[in-house]
Structure 1
Amino acid sequence: MWLLVWGLALILLTWLFQQKLERDYNPNQQVQLLDSRTIVLDQNRHGHYLANGAINGQPVVFLLDTGATQVALSGPEAKRLGLPRGPELTLNTAAGRVTGYHSHIKTLSLGPLTLYDLDAVIVPGSNFEVLLGMNALRQFELTQRGDRLTIKYLTPE
């Protein structure tokens, strides 16, 4: 009986610890809304802004990356999302030059904010979160105060 109790306690503690690690890594699993056009993200413990979102209606985790020109996806993630692999191109990354592919995203959602018809790049053989690059981020006003980032959708003029 005691062995069963200790086993259940160990399973429960493992599950709780895993939940804490996930919240520390991505504290924005539920995006905070200020209004219909504004969200707030908290930094993770590494100083990055990650948030749950969707591409073409399928869930993804975004890493906001002002150093990325376009939205960038790993090869496995692009395959999971069913994104088309277009013409080959050479990409300049922090790790050096790599071969990638053009792609296209019909819809990209971050909380209630949805963008349409965005170019993207696929980086085969890599494994990372979806990088939310400047072709998406330029449509927002970004304000950082302390460890919080406010993202406001700019209405097209």
Structure 2
Amino acid sequence: MDMTTDQMMRGVYLLVLLVLVGSALLARRVPWRGAMGMVLAWVAIFAGVLILFSFRNELGFVANRVRNEVAGKPDQKVSGQSLRIAPGADGHYWVEAQINGTTARFLIDSGATVTALSEETAMAAGLNIDRLAPPMMMNTANGTITAQRSSIAMLTLGPISASDLPVAVSASFGGVNVIGMNLLSRLSSWRVENGEMILTP
């Protein structure tokens, strides 16, 4: 439907509404002043509904953005073969991924050598943690910590899939999961463009 036709339909709807309201008022013999007030009230209600209907897509997008921010859900979308990720409220890039089918939230950190999971996330995903192997020593913003080695059979981020991905697991990560360079290096490209991070498998 083009813009002219859309405007004509709105005009028809408004005319029909006015005729219906006017007919109802005449049938009830409502005083002129009261009738005008009721007509104006109905016109305002109709205009409000019309505005909401006309901008339903834009309002839906805003509502989803607000809901994602409140819920802490990353703002990501698939565009062609790429995954586009908007920065979070903290300025970092967060993404929602599936670990062997289990959903988890990750911080994308190109400064991290290896992908890292909190112990809670690893346990929820059913990963096997090699507790007999010597622990890994990792430098983090909170200092040096120890981590255990594990592996993800399949990690999926939108159109991106990585199999047999080595990961570090530690309770010292504070519940934060990190996607590091051992995953980013498997992609054909990753970059930041117009504020968005774009990952291409």
TM over 0.5: yes
The structure with more strand, counted as a fraction of residues: 1
What is the distance in 1 between the residues matched to 2:139 and 2:87? 26
Q: How many residues align?
A: 133
User: Which structure has more RCO (C-alpha within 8 Å, separation ≥ 6)?
Assistant: 1
Per-residue CA distance 1:9-35 (angstroms, 9 max, x = gap): xxxxxxxx9x8364264342xx31221
Q: Is 1:90–2:134 an aligned residue pair?
A: no
Computing the radius of gyration over CA atoms, which structure comes out larger, 1 or 2? 2
The answer (yes or no) to whether the contact 1:70–1:120 under 8 Å persists in 2 is yes
**By percentage of residues, which structure has more helix?**
2
The one-letter code sitting in structure 2 at the alignment partner of 1:131 is: V
Q: CA RMSD in A?
A: 2.0
Distance 1:147 1:26 in 2: 18
Conservation of the 8 A alpha-carbon contact between 1:53 and 1:62: yes
Aligned residue for 1:8?
none
Q: Taking structure 1 as the reference length, what is the TM-score of the superposition?
A: 0.76
Residue 145 of structure 1 pairs with residue 196 of structure 2: no
Q: Which amino acid aligns with 2:79?
A: L
The whole-number CA distance in structure 1 between the counterparts of 2:119 and 2:67 is: 26
Return 5+ residue gaps in structure 2 as ranges.
1-62
The SS at the match of 1:44 is: coil
Deviations 1:51-105 (A, max 9, x none): 1110111111111011111110111111111111112222222211111101111
Map 1:112-151 onto structure 2 (within 5 A): 112-140=159-187, 141-151=189-199
What are structure 1's unaligned runs of at least 5 residues?
A: 1-16
- TM-score computed with the length of structure 2 as normaliser: 0.60
For residue 77 of structure 1, give the secondary structure of its aligned residue in structure 2. Answer: helix
* 2:116 matches 1:34: no
> Identity, % of aligned pairs?
27
